[in-house]
Amino acid sequence: MSNGKINSPHQPVEYGDEAFRSGAIPKQKPLEDPGGFSKALEGGDFIERLPWGHYAGLDIHLKPGSVRIYQKRSKGNGAKHVAGPKWTHRVMPADFIKTRWQLLLMFAGGFADQFMFRFWMFCAIATFFAVAIQAGIVAALTHATFPIIAIVCLHLFFRYPFTWFLERHPDFIVKDLGCGFFRPTGMVRFRTWREETFEAPFIEFDPYISFHVNPKGPTSCKLQLRHRYSGWQTAVASVHSTLKHELYAHWDELQRYMDVSQPLPDIPALEPYRHLDPTTAEYDAAGKRGRPADYWAALDLEWWEREGYPAHLDAIREFPWHQLRDRMQDSVPNLNAGAMV
């Protein structure tokens, strides 16, 4: 079991007996059939269940922005304050943003984003002209200018002073409850809607992709983990519905991070910890990584932005994800019959 404390990030680890090993998933108890009504009610947004234990080896946390931040920090030029605990060889942190701040951050994002700002301004200006045509310019100036002024003020506030404050005081919105994905122990802990924490072995979760229509209009897909025997769920990642294939890479990367028979995903965030993870250290020492120890720290960022990263996204898009075999079917007797989709 994890102890809920994310400490000693620069110390080597030992794997527990319950750590996830894709080639040795133990037998688990069958699923209880929730019935058609429960499936429709709880799993109505689920469109696909993802397979376990076979990998493409394609990582998702490789955006040029992530590489740039890592290179700055490796040179001592990065931000001095980082919100929440770090992603290390011990834990991939999760659910550390205070709940009351999550809604505010969503609201702030809706006004700070340039695309959404232009959308709101278009609506406000269109309203102004509609009032001017119907009731006259005086009425428009009297009643329809306030939305324009309000939108501009909210955009400027959330884009500049609000962002400036959070960049310098990130702990203001963070409450670390020790949640995350714990590689050495194979445990998962996340925050529930009751503001409590739920913890269970990684192998007891079923990965689903769900489809959502957002209030702002665009549709999105989420990678969600649902605990097989209790129904508790946690979201891992969310993308626009046209980028659903990226969720396969999210799941592939997360599994390999938790799988102690596999080296850590080869991403910038985890490069400083590769020598502290036993499987990864052995893998790198044998020359299997095929890259220098400071690959991401020394990478040509311009090349990565121009050629490397677009080619990597193409590889994710074109990989035959649906051909990966599901090892969890060998562990849970009635997985296909009892799953939500």
Listed by start position, the domains of the chain span 22-92+178-338, 104-168
Mean pLDDT of 41-49: 78
CA 238, chain centre distance (Å): 7
Q: Comparing 138-152, 167-181, 200-214, which segment has the lowest mean pLDDT?
A: 167-181
d(CA 189, CA 191): 7
Please determine, for residue 4, whether its predicted confidence score (pLDDT) is greater than 50. Answer: no
The whole-number pLDDT of residue 62 equals 96
Q: Confidence class of residue 270 from pLDDT cuts 50, 70 and 90?
A: very high
Residue type, 170: P
If you average pLDDT over residues 275-298, what whole number do you get? 96
Strands (E), 137-248: 180-182, 187-191, 197-201, 205-213, 219-227, 233-240
- Give the C-alpha separation, 222 to 211, whole Å: 7
Distance CA 223, CA 235 (A): 6
Best mean pLDDT range from 28-32, 116-120, 168-172: 28-32
Length of the chain: 341
Alpha-carbon distance 339 to 341, whole Å? 5
pTM summary value: 0.78
Report residue 222: phi and psi, to 5°: -125, 145
Coil, helix or strand for 175?
coil
340 and 43 Cβ atoms separated by less than 8 Å: yes
Tell me how crowded residue 198 is: count the other CB atoms within 10 A of its CB.
16
